[in-house]
Amino acid sequence: MNLRDIHTPVLLDRCIDLLAPALADDGAVLVDATLGMGGHAEAFLERFPGIRLVGLDRDTDALRIAGERLARFGDRVILVHTVYDGLAEALSGAGIDHADGILFDLGVSSLQLDVADRGFAYSQDAPLDMRMDQTAGTTAADIIAEYGEGDLRRIFERYGEEKLAGRYARAIIAARSEAPIDRSGRLVDVLVAATPQAAQRTGHPAKRVFQALRIEVNRELSVLERAIPDAMATLPVGGRIVVMSYQSLEDRLVKHAFADASRSTAPRGLPVELPEHAPRFRLLVKGAELAADDERARNPRATPVRLRAAERVREAV
């Protein structure tokens, strides 16, 4: 498998530019909180020969592939099997007391999408798994088999922003009473059959349901809600964090975390802002940055990306 054929790092040059000031000193620590197959990590290690990299991933296949890819960098690389809300513990376990730069590239990875038997892609028939960490946890097939109609509707609405959530939940309950829905192809058939013709013209009926199932299986939003503030707490003054999101629910959580950290906590009407009320972070980009048209043309997976970045400017009191 040629990694470069299936994995083109998104917004690579922009990530390097944003994190470069925090990685200028020898011994600086970069945490790649979503290592994947190591594309971003490899580029940073080449560009900054004095840094150490701590790479995190819950996917053991990704860690194995990234480990092979990054082996030439020797002891500059530490790989940890963990979810990204375990970032602080991973640093502590490696004997490192802070991170100078942190990169999150959220969502499903190229490896997970392109390996059919992982069950992430609605375009390929496979077991309904969707676990990023295949060593533990509930599968998408378990959720389809065990959740009631109300819970299915809830996750489709909340995590997929699916307007036909109720219709799809009812169709799944009816279909599973006849035979188990344990493969992606069967689930797609159920969803397509339940979708009005007019709605089918606006996009694939399974897209939002598969997103919702993936988020539920991997507890992505609850993990992210903990992970971003915890990660920011590991940064010293001058440390930087870059987060790339691929759907609105992720981006909203990142936006709120960054907004909270970059606003003054001074009581309204206070004539002078005391130092302890000053913002702890400053935003490095205005709003969320998108990929340029030429990158989207080269790499379609860059199309939905939303990038946000921040720098610590004050220690916590």
In this structure, the strands spanning 52-57 and 101-105 are unpaired
200 is an annotated ligand-binding site residue = no
Q: Are residues 202 and 245 in the same domain?
A: no
Question: What average pLDDT score do residues 69-93 get?
Answer: 97
50 is an annotated ligand-binding site residue = no
pLDDT of residue 8: 80
Quick check: is 195 in a domain?
yes
pLDDT by residue (tens digit) across 256-286?
999 999 987 666 666 666 666 688 999 999 9
Its pTM stands at: 0.89
112 is an annotated ligand-binding site residue = yes
Q: Among the three residues 218, 245, 263, which one is the final residue of a domain in this structure? A: 218
Quick check: is 317 in a domain?
no
Mean pLDDT comparison of 48-62, 100-114, 252-266, highest-scoring range: 48-62
- Compute how many other C-beta atoms are within 10 angstroms of the C-beta atom of residue 8: 16
For residue 271, count CB atoms less than 10 angstroms from its CB and return exposed for 0-12, middle for 13-18, buried for 19 or more.
Answer: exposed
111 pLDDT higher than 60: no
Question: What average pLDDT score do residues 140-152 get?
Answer: 97
Question: What average pLDDT score do residues 303-313 get?
Answer: 97
13 is an annotated ligand-binding site residue = no
38 is an annotated ligand-binding site residue = yes
Q: Among the three residues 163, 196, 218, which one is the final residue of a domain in this structure? A: 218
For residue 71, count CB atoms less than 10 angstroms from its CB and return exposed for 0-12, middle for 13-18, buried for 19 or more.
Answer: exposed
**pLDDT tier at 1, thresholds 50, 70, 90:** very low
Rg (CA), the chain: 21
40 is an annotated ligand-binding site residue = yes
Token couple for 218: 């991997």
204 is an annotated ligand-binding site residue = no
Range(s) of the domain holding residue 155: 117-218
CA–CA gap between residue 311 and residue 317 (Å, rounded): 17
Q: Are residues 203 and 231 in the same domain?
A: no
